[in-house]
């Protein structure tokens, strides 16, 4: 893997610790924050979790499992997330993978928003365990087109941290059950 992780929460423990990569594609940072929430829960559950920008990940062979997320922009999954799937498809298909997307600027429940087409294709291609969609976040002070224009009418944080944490606990449960 090239370079150190952007952020790493590592719990020192026994030799059987499950190592999980939580990779994300994000422009404005809210999808990165979701990845960090997931990693914190995995560490609390006894895993070793690294959080990395999908653009920086060149291979995933050092990990037992991968959680891969991308922001949704105009119905499309973040380009760095899509590129990571293409770049590491073979390795990803050899280990448990969970996918998430963030971006609808509305409060959503478990089944309210379909994943972007690229995320659904990745789920099928990789045999991913799950493919979920979380609400997104657009700050009122967003800059650039079209974010600034959208922020005038749709600004808000529609993420549900407890829903994200519950999903991460389910991942930890699945990983523990497979050991």
Tell me the angle at which helices 30-44 and 161-177 cross, rounded to the nearest 10 degrees. 40
Query: Helix (H, G, I), strand (E, B), or coil: what is residue 63?
Result: coil
What's the CA dihedral at 107, 111, 134, 169 to 10 degrees?
120
pLDDT of residue 137: 76
Instruction: Compute and round to an integer the Cα radius of gyration of the chain.
Output: 16
- Kindly list the structural domains of the chain, giving each domain's residue range(s) and its CATH number in brackets, ordered by start: 7-173 (3.40.50.360)
Q: pLDDT tens digit string along 12-32?
A: 444 458 999 999 999 877 999
Query: Helix (H, G, I), strand (E, B), or coil: what is residue 101?
Result: strand
The pTM of this model reads: 0.83
Q: pLDDT tens digit string along 37-52?
A: 999 999 999 999 999 9
Q: For the chain, give the longest Cα–Cα distance.
A: 51
Name the pLDDT band for 136 (thresholds 50, 70, 90). Answer: confident
């Amino acid at each position: 893997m090239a370079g150190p992780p952007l952020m790493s929460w590592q719990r020192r423990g026994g030799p059987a610790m499950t190592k999980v990569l939580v990779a994300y594609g994000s422009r404005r940072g809210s999808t990165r924050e979701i990845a960090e929430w997931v990693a914190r829960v995995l560490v609390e559950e006894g895993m070793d979790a690294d959080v990395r920008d999908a653009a920086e990940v060149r291979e995933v062979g050092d990990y037992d499992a991968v959680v891969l997320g991308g922001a949704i922009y105009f119905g499309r999954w973040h380009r760095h997330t899509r590129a990571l799937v293409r770049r590491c498809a073979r390795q990803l298909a050899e280990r448990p993978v969970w996918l998430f997307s963030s971006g609808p600027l509305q409060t959503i429940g478990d089944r309210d928003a379909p994943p972007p087409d690229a995320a659904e294709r990745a789920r099928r291609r990789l045999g991913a365990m799950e493919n979920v969609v979380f609400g997104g976040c657009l700050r009122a002070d967003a800059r650039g087109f079209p974010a600034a224009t959208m922020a005038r009418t749709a600004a808000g944080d529609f993420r549900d941290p407890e829903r994200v944490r519950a999903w991460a606990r389910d991942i930890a449960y699945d990983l523990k059950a497979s050991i």
